């Protein structure tokens, strides 16, 4: 069965089988129709549009049109509106419960619109190692839901209950992202990074806590403090009442003060408390399998995720590499497959996110030769590059297939020596030009991870999805990746999943005694991660990187 999923016109436009659109159209967080990524998906498998059995979309607009105002839908302006006008009128006539999915079909072509939160759930569950698990999804909002409680067993996902818009944990976080001068739906992780500067409870904790009422069905927000749901009125996600409660918001370019840190810290603590409550509810009403899958944009909160192994709620937890809207196209494709293929589920835990385009060494050499760029191909590539990183060089690292989603995991990465705190400033000055409060991530050899980080035995963190404490004896050796609260967004690296990357970190460890590299995505601030060799070369020559390691080739700036 050949299924293509597309998710157009939102901030993380994507297609599956499987690639995000921004890398193709070169617009960061592209919202365009993902035709380029969809075409790559098809071409990479030797398929044409007409070969597809179905096209699926991780959003069911029937739920939205059903709520459309009568004045918008009582008359047609052009005949194309028959597409929505007829279903709306029929829905009104029948007045029955809304189905989770709808289908449009002409000829052999089928387009199936699926429930957004079910697609989040499918992304999390079908990529997890669990035969059976409870599933909790939390995001800004889907068609009308903001939270899904359910479970998965074999190939079946069932919903138990939900929380309905406008009560939303994701938008609660968005409110404070906006309040602190950042862009909601985009910059939440910056607020999470700032929150680490405030570890102790402060005057804002109780005030922000009072905005959420935890209930036996989930939670309710005191909506009088918010304004994200009054679309035509809002300049901001928050209401004047929030300013009256906690003071003036930060303007975009204002410096970040200890007050902003205190607000971010208090809000993150309330977020943790709320999601912990939802987890407890999920467990109380769930299957008692001991397993939980968390998905939706809130599962990008790696600080919260890092706490999961120490909570006494679920024994095991799983979070995919792309739990947010970047992964709902994948979720939709998997959901449709399990719903329509009539084949039993083969449990296939996601072990990597290298699902994008790759380029052969010949293609890479052609690009370098076309641009008349001198390069060498050292026989002992990883040893040599490890030595140069230990000598302070900044390396653009381009290998194999591009990562899907937000996080570069060693195929489109910038790598540096993690030992000295000053390296953060060097990377920021040379390449990233980004805010100094944002930490860089450590990539660590899997077998050394528990020695360096406070990870539970056997815990793999393949997608940087959990922030964990660095053991005190190592914090002094990891100055560039040690966040203000002594934590790191670790990535454990296994040799069988990425041998060249693993060998590089191992060689660096043998030279320095520190089997860790600083890993950040290979892009300039505000640009998408590089995809092709040409992107890599252009980015390399537009910034202060010292070396580009691209396939087997090494390019140096100071080489004539
Ligand atoms: Fe979502």
Mean pLDDT of 47-71: 79
Distance 58 CA to ligand 1 centre (A): 9
Q: How close is the Cα of 6 to the center of ligand 1, in Å?
A: 14
Q: What integer is the mean pLDDT of 204-224?
A: 98
Query: Has residue 527 got a pLDDT over 90?
Result: no
pLDDT of the residue at 87: 81
Q: Who has greater pLDDT, 43 or 160?
A: 160
Q: What is the pLDDT of residues 189-209, one digit of tens each?
A: 999 999 999 999 999 999 999
Q: Give 334-372 pLDDT, tens digit per residue.
A: 999 999 988 888 888 889 989 888 999 999 999 999 999
Ligand 1 center from residue 38 Cα (angstroms): 20
- Tell whether the model's pLDDT for residue 248 goes beyond 80: yes
Residue 152 CA to residue 200 CA, distance in Å, equals: 38
More confidently predicted of 430 and 311: 311
Distance 163 CA to ligand 1 centre (A): 13
Please give the pLDDT value at position 16.
62
Q: What percent of the chain has pLDDT over 70?
A: 92
Distance CA(406)–CA(321), nearest Å, equals 9
Task: Quote the pLDDT of residue 64.
Answer: 77
Cα–ligand 1 centroid distance for 88 (angstroms):
24
How high is the pLDDT of residue 45?
81
Q: What is the mean pLDDT of the chain?
A: 90
> What angle separates helix 188-195 from helix 258-285, to the nearest 10 degrees?
100
The CA 395 to ligand 1 mean position distance, Å, reads 34
CA of 146 to the centre of ligand 1 (A): 8
Query: Picking from 23-27, 215-219, 303-307, which range would have the lowest pLDDT averaged per residue?
Result: 23-27
Q: How far is the CA of 17 from the centre of ligand 1 (A)?
A: 19
Q: What digits encode the pLDDT tens for the residues 301-312?
A: 999 999 999 999
Ligand 1 centroid – CA 441 distance (Å): 25
Cβ burial of 154 (10 Å; 0-12, 13-18, 19+) is exposed
Say if residues 75 and 88 touch (Cβ distance below 8 Å). Answer: no
pLDDT above 50: residue 20:
no
- In this prediction, residue 18 carries a pLDDT of 39
- Cα of 403 vs centre of ligand 1, distance in Å, is 20
266-284 pLDDT per residue, tens: 999 999 999 999 999 999 9
Please tell me the predicted confidence (pLDDT) of residue 12.
Answer: 47
The alpha carbon of 200 and the centre of ligand 1 are apart by a number of angstroms equal to: 31
Distance 290 CA to ligand 1 centre (A): 25
Distance (Å) from CA 136 to ligand 1 centroid: 12
113 C-alpha to center of ligand 1: Å?
A: 14
264 C-alpha to ligand 1 centroid (Å): 22
Pairing type for strands 412-416 and 516-521 reads antiparallel
91: its two tokens: 């829905």
Q: Which helix or strand (DSSP H or E) is residue 442 part of?
A: strand 441-445
Q: How confident is the model over 34-53, as a mean pLDDT?
A: 82
Please give the distance, rounded to the nearest whole angstrom, from the Cα atom of residue 170 to the centre of ligand 1: 9
């Amino acid at each position: 069965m050949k299924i293509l999923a597309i998710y157009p016109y939102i901030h993380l436009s994507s297609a599956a089988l499987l690639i995000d659109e921004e890398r193709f159209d070169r617009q960061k967080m592209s919202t365009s129709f993902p035709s380029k990524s969809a075409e790559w998906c098809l071409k990479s498998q030797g398929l044409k549009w007409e070969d597809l059995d179905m096209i699926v979309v991780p959003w069911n607009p029937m739920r939205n049109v059903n709520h459309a105002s009568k004045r918008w839908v009582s008359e047609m302006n052009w005949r194309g509106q028959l597409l929505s006008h007829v279903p709306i009128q029929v829905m009104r006539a029948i007045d029955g419960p809304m189905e989770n999915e709808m289908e449009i079909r002409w000829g052999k072509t089928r387009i199936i619109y699926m429930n957004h939160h079910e697609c989040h759930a499918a992304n999390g569950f079908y990529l997890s190692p669990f035969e059976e698990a409870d599933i909790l999804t939390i995001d800004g909002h889907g068609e009308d839901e903001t939270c899904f409680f359910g479970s998965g067993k074999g190939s079946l996902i069932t919903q138990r209950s939900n929380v309905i818009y406008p009560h939303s944990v994701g938008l609660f976080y968005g409110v404070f992202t906006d309040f602190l001068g950042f862009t909601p739906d985009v910059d939440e992780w910056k607020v999470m990074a700032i929150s680490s500067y405030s570890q102790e409870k402060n005057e804002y904790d109780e005030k922000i806590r009072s905005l959420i009422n935890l209930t036996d069905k989930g939670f309710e927000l005191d909506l009088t403090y918010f304004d994200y749901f009054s679309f035509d009125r809002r300049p901001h996600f928050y209401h004047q009442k929030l300013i009256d409660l906690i003071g003036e918001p930060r303007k975009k370019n204002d410096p970040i003060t200890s007050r902003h840190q205190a607000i971010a810290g208090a809000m993150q603590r309330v977020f943790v408390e709320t999601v912990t409550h939802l987890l407890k509810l999920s467990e109380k009403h769930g299957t008692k399998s001991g397993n939980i899958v968390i998905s939706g944009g809130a599962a990008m909160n790696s600080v919260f995720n890092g706490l999961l192994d120490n909570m006494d709620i679920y024994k095991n937890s799983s979070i995919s590499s792309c739990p947010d809207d970047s992964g709902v196209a994948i979720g939709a494709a998997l959901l449709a497959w399990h719903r329509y293929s009539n084949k039993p589920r083969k449990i296939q835990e996601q072990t990597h996110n290298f699902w994008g385009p790759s380029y052969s060494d010949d293609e890479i050499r052609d690009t370098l030769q076309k641009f008349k760029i001198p390069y060498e191909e050292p026989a002992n590539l990883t040893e040599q590059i490890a030595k140069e990183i230990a000598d302070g060089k900044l390396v653009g690292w381009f290998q194999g297939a591009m990562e899907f989603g937000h996080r570069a995991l060693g195929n489109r990465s910038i790598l540096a020596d993690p030992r000295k705190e000053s390296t953060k400033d060097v990377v920021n000055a040379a390449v990233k030009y980004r805010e100094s409060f944002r930490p860089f991530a450590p990539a660590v050899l899997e077998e050394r991870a528990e020695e360096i980080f406070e990870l539970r035995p056997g815990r793999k963190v393949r997608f940087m999805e959990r922030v964990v404490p660095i053991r005190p004896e190592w914090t002094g050796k990891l100055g560039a990746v040690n966040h203000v609260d002594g934590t790191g967004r670790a990535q454990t690296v296994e040799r069988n999943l990425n041998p060249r990357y693993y060998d590089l970190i191992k060689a660096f460890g043998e030279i320095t005694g520190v089997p860790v590299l600083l890993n950040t995505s290979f892009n300039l601030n505000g640009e998408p991660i590089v995809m092709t060799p040409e992107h890599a070369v252009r980015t390399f020559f537009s910034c202060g990187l010292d070396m580009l390691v691209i396939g087997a080739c090494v390019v140096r700036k100071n080489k004539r």
